[in-house]
Each structure stands twice: as C-alpha cells, then as structure tokens.
Amino acid sequence: MVCDLVIHAGRVVTPLRTVNADIAILGGKILAVGGSKDMPAARRTLDAGGKYVLPGIVDPHAHLGYFDTLEAVETETRAAACGGVTCLGVYILALKDGILKQFDRLRSRFESLSFVDAFWHLMVIDSITMKEIETCPSAIGLTSFKFNMGYKGPHADLLGISATDDGAVYRGFRAIGELGPPALAACHTENIDIHLMLREELIAQGRRDYRVWNDSRPPFVEAECMRRAIYLAKSAGCPLYIPHITIAEGVDIIAEAVAAGVEVVGETCPQYLTHSNEAPPKVVLEHPACANVNPPLRDKASNERLWEGLAQGIIKCVGSDLAPATLAMKGDNIWDAPMGLGNNSELLLPVLLSEGVNKGRLSLEKVVEICCENPARIFGVYPRKGSLEVGADADFVVVDLEEKRTVETTKLRTMCDWSIYDGWELTGWPVHTILRGEVIVENGEPVAQSVQRGRYVPRLK
Ligand SMILES: [Zn+2]
C-alpha cells in the first residue's frame, strides 16, 4: 500500500502523553501512528525534524463578518490557518429570514473561500431563528445555538435582534434541552439593563476614554448574568457553554456550578489571559475605540485567575472571539465602534505556547486538551476533529516550541490592521498546518491553492 503522506520524526502530543512517532495519512484520514519502520510507503514525506505535532487547533469562537456574516471568510480563515487552526466554530448571524433558507448559499460561499473547516453556531435573535432550533440538527447538522442575553438598545434595533429577554432565552434553552446531546446553548452573559443605565450616565459625563468600557460593563454585570444563565439552563435541562469569560469570579462560578452537577462549560480567550485595562496595549491608548469589546478587558488578577482556571481544568476551552474590525471601521468614538479585539485566532496558539507552556503555566498536553480535544468533544465533532486516533481527519499543526519571533501587525494575515500583540516577543510558533492530509501552511506561508479547501462540518444528533 502507498499512502498519501507520512509526517516523519515528530514528537506527537495528545492530552495524555508525548511520544516520538510517525503518522501515515490516506484519503485525508489518519491511517497509522507508530514507528518509522511500521509506516507504509508514501507519495510525500514531511519531515517534522523532532518538532512537536499536535492535532489541528479547534478555535470554537469566530465571527467572520458583521452585518454580512461571512464577509471576511477568505482573509480570516487564511490567518487562522497560519496560526495552526484547522477547524473554526463560526457564529452565523442570519438576519431577517433565518438560516435554513439561506443555508445552501452560505455553505457554498464558505466552502469557496475558506482555508479551514468549520462547524457553525446559530445566533438565536428573533422568532424565526427560535423556531429553527428544533429543525437545525436534522436539516443542516447544526447543534449549537447562541443567545445574547438581554441584548437590546440601539445596536440590537439596527440589526433587528429581538428574542433576547429571559422568557425567550428560557424558551430556547428548553427547546435545546429537548433535542438532547450534542445540542447545547451558548450564552453571552452581561446584564444589559445595568450596562445601559451606566452607559447613559457615562455618556452624559462626556467619557470616551478606553477605561469607560470596563466602567460601563463592570465585572459584576458579567458575574450576575453568568449566574442567571446557569440557573435558567439548569431549570430548562439545557447544557450551557459560556464563551469569553473575563473575570476571576467567573472561574469560581463555573467551578461551583459544575460541583453542583450543572452541565456548564466555560471558555476564555487569549486576550483575557494576557491583557488588562490596568496596562492596556499601545493601540488601545492611541485608539480608545479599540477597547470596545464585550465583555471588556479587566484586571491583571483576572488574567492570572483565568490561567489557573485553565490549568485546573475548570475553564475547558480557549476561543479567539475573532472579530476583524479595522481601525477605520472602529472609528474614533468608542460608543459607536463595532465590537471586538481583532483576529486573535492567528495568535491563539502562539500565545498559549509562549505565555502558557514556555512560562510554566500549562503543559503542552494541556494545550492539546484545551484547544483540540475539549472543543471537539463539546461541540460534537470528536473524534473526527481534535484527536489523533486512526480514522480521524488528518488535521495537524507542527510546532517549534523554541522559535522566538516578535509580532508585527503588518506581517499578520488578517484583514485587521491592528493587534493587541503588536511588539510582543512570543516563543513557540506553528510551522506547518495540515488539513485533512493537505499541507495548507508550510514554513509559516499559506499554500495558495488551499483557499477552497475548507468544508462545513455537519454534526449528527
Ligand atoms: Zn463572540
């Protein structure tokens, strides 16, 4: 037998151990993992040269556009691929007529432009998307649904977002609970009424500085809503995923809920591990509108507690919350700026390698658990994604844990022209990315024909 590719001389990392091994790939799947002598002949060999070979990174939290939900597919998936990501969880904002009618169009758009695979989350925003919950798993293999709890105000009105009060959220949670696994709800947790009250006060004071974002959405606003979402999900029998946790208290809230038997999973983001409003990045000082991200950057104590939460297995996932608004799109008024801290999908793995592994906060095996196995399991694509089992998709990232490089925004692949990591020297970088047996990034450079390689990944109920 001749296989398609052998990755030779890698140090292969799983959540349990690291072993010296070769990997044989046939038809986009893992055929064998073992010693060189046991490998079949191959059409191509990629020499890992003793570097680490991880399953491809699953980044469960990406936005690829604002009003136009897949606007930035090509640039942002290319960037993610350069960061070692092979599968994204993409939030789909299906405005006005729901997702089912548009699904074929959205899927072919995605697959004609994406470098990486993706499963999608549906944003439940109105009565149409609410009704679609029960049909989505069987019709389009979509099993995760996002609720923006209490989301209202001028921005929500502009987008036509309405089904966000507690009654609507409970209705959605109940429908998801009835679907059963792997269906789950994701919930943005900030108490919007308190935010809107504070927002009005702070605007009246003429505030437009970067600190105002945290002042208008202080930590208790996030903590209160986390607790309410967990209570409602428990009452509805619905598994819950809380994305982008920013606060130290959030780690305790998740730990308490899990200890009490509630099915809840917490995610944080690289930016909440490394950045705070006590020591903001230069770009935020120069362009306060860049601080518009929900929830906001917090304090250094929260950064450290979130690292601990990951190491202790309380926080199970890291998602990038990729949201690629450029400086021009951000503008100069923080109150009106589009939200998001840029494309941190491209830097998610380097940040975890450099600030996590190389600073002794996380083991490399733990990074594989957090960034590959956990998100794949939670969102129902395991073991096809996030694993190195025979028969799994042959998705890998080859990592040089010793490479030192300074982040230069102009060299990043995202359309976003700013980065909170600009000027950071990071140690530990992806070298090659392999998607279903094809090398899509080689020596840090995207392989041009890899656009159109990405596929929508349906999930089975
Ligand atoms: Zn998000």
pLDDT on residue 460: 77
Q: How far apart are CA 71 and CA 373, in angstroms?
A: 29
**Ligand 1 center to 45 CA (angstroms):** 38
Q: Which amino acid is at 157?
A: D
Higher pLDDT, 148 or 264: 264
Residues 6+ apart with CB under 8 A from 288: 208, 209, 210, 212, 332, 334
- Cα(62) to centroid(ligand 1), Å: 6
Task: Say yes or no to pLDDT of 159 above 80.
Answer: no
Q: How confident is the model at residue 160 (pLDDT cuts 50, 70, 90)?
A: confident
% of the chain beyond a pLDDT of 90: 92
d(CA 301, CA 277): 11
Where b means 16+ CB within 10 Å and e means fewer, 191-230 reads bbebbeebbeebeeeebeebbbbbbbbbbebbbebbebbb
- Centre of ligand 1 from the C-alpha of residue 66, in Å: 11
Report how far ligand 1's centroid is from the alpha carbon of 402 (Å): 31
The per-residue pLDDT for 67 is 78
Ligand 1 centroid to residue 52 C-alpha, Å: 30
- For residue 461, is pLDDT > 70? no
**Would the pLDDT of 448 be above 90?**
no
Higher pLDDT, residue 461 or 343:
343
pLDDT digit string (tens) for 50-63? 999 999 999 999 99
Dihedral sign, CA of 342, 443, 406, 430?
positive
Residue 238 to residues 182, 263, 377: CA-CA distances in angstroms? 11, 8, 17
The pLDDT, as a whole number, for residue 161 is 85
- pLDDT digits over 126-153, tens only? 999 999 999 999 999 999 999 998 788 7
CA of 266 to the centre of ligand 1 (A): 13
Cα 90 to middle of ligand 1, angstroms: 9
Tell me: pLDDT of 266 over 90: yes
**pLDDT-above-70 percentage for the chain:** 100
Mean pLDDT (the chain) is 96
292-322 pLDDT, tens per residue? Answer: 999 999 999 999 999 999 999 999 999 999 9
The reported pLDDT for the residue numbered 344 is 95
Tell me the average pLDDT across 211-220: 97
pTM: 0.97
Q: How confident is the model at residue 369 (pLDDT cuts 50, 70, 90)?
A: very high
Q: What is the pLDDT of residues 90-100, one digit of tens each?
A: 999 998 899 99
Name the pairing type of β-strands 2-13 and 41-47: parallel
| Residue 285 pLDDT > 90 | yes
Please give the radius of gyration of the chain, using alpha carbons only, rounded to the nearest integer.
21
Give me ligand 1 centre to Cα 61, in Å: 6
Q: Ligand 1 mean position to 222 CA, how many Å?
A: 14
Instruction: Starting at the earlier edge strand, list the strands of the sheet with 144-148.
Output: 57-62, 85-92, 117-124, 144-148, 184-188, 240-242, 264-268, 315-318
Alpha helices in 292-441 (DSSP H): 300-311, 327-330, 345-351, 364-368, 374-378
Instruction: Give mean pLDDT, residues 361-371.
Output: 98
Using the predicted structure, report yes or no on whether residue 355 has a pLDDT greater than 80.
yes
Short-list 380, 364, 238, 349, CA closest to 311: 364
d(CA 411, CA 117): 23
CA of residue 79 to ligand 1 center, whole Å: 17
Phi and psi for 252 in degrees, rounded to 5? -65, -40
